[in-house]
Chain A
């Protein structure tokens, strides 16, 4: 702060993104007249190598010691320019950005107003940059472990990659088994690999991997700390079955008094299970779990003379006294892979999903054609009167996707292909069935997808362009009412069965994860990534990454690719062993602190403590900031009665000049 500020202002054209609306030459001329400004330049792309070189040269040759870059949002290129000025020997925090693209040239149409606003924003930036202080980022050790939340294919893949790289990985899964949605699928498009066949080896791997600690039937309760040093608290829910003793033999389930009476979640409620159950035959871990809501003993306190499961269990594994267990550990990085919920077809009442048993969803179809499903893979359906083998089958696509009426404007990206795949599977099982697919558009964008779609069409599956308006019953048939929009003819199509190609929605309980990790949602309500193109697996919370459908609908190849991306990003702090802590933390002026402790109470991170100092022979209490814990939010500062605690780079003396500068130019 001893040097007199010599400011350089660099105004970016951003091609024509800025210069087509903002008169950059006029702004340059204006900037040169601002106090302390020694250099002002415009350039087509400031962020490019030559653009950065321009700044670096001026720093060296003109002796600039403060830089203002007027370009895009600091959320975009602040790190770029900090690095650039650091390379030229300047403290990286001697930078201020004026956002004249996202918040100026892109939102204002008239050159006059956009130019005037750009001038104001630059004035405020110059006002602030003169008073910025040199800061030094600190490094702290990173815990060499990771947490993965959700053990579907995304979570499994991410956990395996991190564990294979040699780091301890905690894989937390809410349900009793890993596998997620992919385990429920029959075949996968377009290769028709059996889903279980390609997934189960990975499920087994993640349970047996020496570096993976699998916490199934568990939920994350609390997450504190920051990148490199997250403190995690996980609740292992009581299974009422001794994990080590259970051999997975299944005698208990067969003897359960409510055996085959409880809808099986894994079969989308179409199959039945017992109160003590294994979600599906290949479940990992292969340990039974008692569902406390349906178990007579746990819900009613009585199960005949004695619970039968307990009587038959040779391993004496059943333990009704078992309680939830809290597990605590530290990790350096976190991957969120919480997946999706299928769209609830009841929200499109015109399709009669709640009214007719032979209107089913795509997820239910997966179970119906699966050899491990409730019908053993036979396509049989009730038409309300009897179980029949359907002859006339209709698929409807885009149910709950691309539909503003249910609030989902997005395309779910998998329904076109899973519908085509299911049509193919039915064709295999019922060669004489008449299959038609009602569609809006066919989006077969992936590798081998268009080819697969062509193949299905050649298998005598009719594609009818039109979005049905209604399904109703006529006799023992269902009538699909639509308009064939290619021929402009109304259609009343009598069928035995309708499959709704339901889309993907964010998990109903994603709110809980959002609150735990301070994540945001994008307009489609899935988790928001840090940048839609360049940081697709990062989040606004450092050290927290996204994988799979929790970030947006995607198919299995994309999910696995993203999981691998998230794993490699999470490995950066773990492999480095250190993380950089932002230097923009709060600082106390101990000479003026009155020791009231308001800031201590306010700090959400317990980063402030009272400490005793000697002031002219008197012991007085003052606040002191733990820089490793402080996140620099500044809430303490607004509460301080003597302005003694101030976040660096956002001090009163740095913000007030910005306010004044904006007033001057009214």
Chain B
């Protein structure tokens, strides 16, 4: 968490639905907290569960993965894979003692600019409640 006690959140968004939905929120001038930094991937199926852990290790207090609604994946099945993999990860996180409020998965379509705002607000709020993450920080690697 930064000096002003704001959580730092890394979000992985699929190019076709959630990234476009976040763009729509912008086009519609919907305002939401600035804590979420987006990394664009083509599909949530690309999100290796280790990315989530990696983000937490390297300075994130919360992680969000957002993709197309189940059934709407641009690549047909990618979000199903993501749902299964990341659902399992969430259980594992809880098991190893990471507050599950640090990890969210959501479905935001290209037309849901307002939903994107709600998802961001919820993710930030939960991460804020969970507090700064000090669980297994890694020495900052030189990227």
Residues of A within 8 A of B (CB): 35, 73-76, 99, 101-104, 106-109, 113-114, 116-117, 120-121, 124, 127, 514-515, 518, 520-523, 528, 540-541, 584, 602, 604-605, 631-635, 637-639, 647, 650, 652, 655-666
Contact = CB atoms under 8 A, between A and B. Distances in A.
Given A631-B75, A632-B42, A655-B41, A102 B22 contact: yes
9 closest residue pairs by CB, A with B: A663-B59, A102-B26, A634-B46, A635-B45, A663-B58, A633-B75, A106-B26, A633-B43, A102-B23
Nearest to B41: A650
Given A124-B37, A520-B72, A647 B46 contact: yes
Given A633-B43, A659-B10, A522 B111 contact: yes
A665 to B, nearest CB: 8
Contact of A103 (B38, B54, B71, B82): B38
User: By CB atoms of chain B within 10 A, which of A638, A647, A656, A658 has the most?
Assistant: A638
Contacts of A113: 34
Given A102-B22, A520-B110, A127 B143 contact: yes
B41 A635 contact: no
A121 B48 contact: no
A661 B38 CA distance: 12
A520 B17 contact: yes
Contact of A660 (B27, B49, B141): B141
Contact of A106 (B2, B27, B74): B27
B109 A633 contact: no
B86 to A, nearest CB: 10
Nearest to B117: A107
Contact of B30 (A74, A107, A518, A605): A107
User: By CB atoms of chain B within 10 A, which of A541, A637, A659, A665 has the most?
Assistant: A659
Given A634-B78, A635-B77, A663-B58, 13 more contacts: A73-B23, A99-B40, A103-B38, A108-B31, A109-B31, A540-B74, A541-B74, A635-B45, A635-B75, A647-B46, A662-B39, A666-B1, A666-B61
Nearest to A649: B42
A113 B37 CA distance: 12
A289 to B, nearest CB: 33
28 contacts: A101-B26, A102-B27, A104-B26, A106-B26, A107-B31, A108-B34, A109-B31, A114-B34, A117-B34, A518-B76, A520-B17, A521-B109, A522-B111, A540-B20, A604-B76, A604-B78, A631-B75, A633-B43, A634-B43, A635-B77, A635-B78, A638-B48, A638-B49, A638-B85, A660-B140, A660-B143, A664-B59, A664-B143
Contacts of A584: 42
Contacts of B8: 662-663, 666
Given A101-B26, A107-B25, A520-B17, A514 B72 contact: yes
Contact of B81 (A109, A114, A639): A639
A655 B39 contact: yes
A659 B58 contact: yes
Contacts of B32: 107-108
B19 A75 contact: yes
A634 B81 contact: no
The B contact surface, by secondary structure, is: loop
Contacts of B31: 107-109
Interface of B: 1-2, 8, 10, 15-17, 19-20, 22-27, 29-32, 34, 37-43, 45-49, 51, 54-55, 58-61, 71-78, 81-82, 85, 109-112, 140-141, 143
Contacts of A664: 58-59, 140, 143
Given A109-B31, A602-B81, A604-B78, A666 B15 contact: no
Given A540-B74, A664-B59, A75 B34 contact: no
B23 A633 contact: no
A520 B111 contact: yes
A540 B1 CA distance: 37
Contacts of A647: 42, 46
B58 A633 contact: no
User: By CB atoms of chain A within 10 A, which of B24, B75, B82 has the most?
Assistant: B75
Contacts of A106: 26-27, 29
A604 B45 CA distance: 11
B23 A75 contact: yes
Contacts of B72: 514, 518, 520
Contact of A666 (B2, B40, B48, B76): B2
B60 A528 contact: no
Contact of A75 (B15, B29, B47): B15
Contacts of B54: 656, 659
A119 B115 CA distance: 26
B10 A662 contact: yes
Contacts of B30: 107
B38 A634 contact: no
Nearest to B74: A518
A514 B109 CA distance: 13
Contact of B75 (A102, A604, A663): A604
B81 A638 contact: yes
Nearest to A635: B45
A642 to B, nearest CB: 12
Contacts of B82: 638
Contacts of B51: 655-656, 659
B110 to A, nearest CB: 5
A584 B15 CA distance: 13
Contacts of B29: 106-107
A650 B13 CA distance: 13
A109 B30 CA distance: 10
Contacts of A655: 39, 41, 51
Nearest to B48: A638
Nearest to B47: A638
A661 B142 CA distance: 9
A605 B74 CA distance: 12
A74 B29 CA distance: 18
A527 to B, nearest CB: 11
Contacts of B2: 666
A652 B54 CA distance: 11
B78 A659 contact: no
Contacts of B71: 515
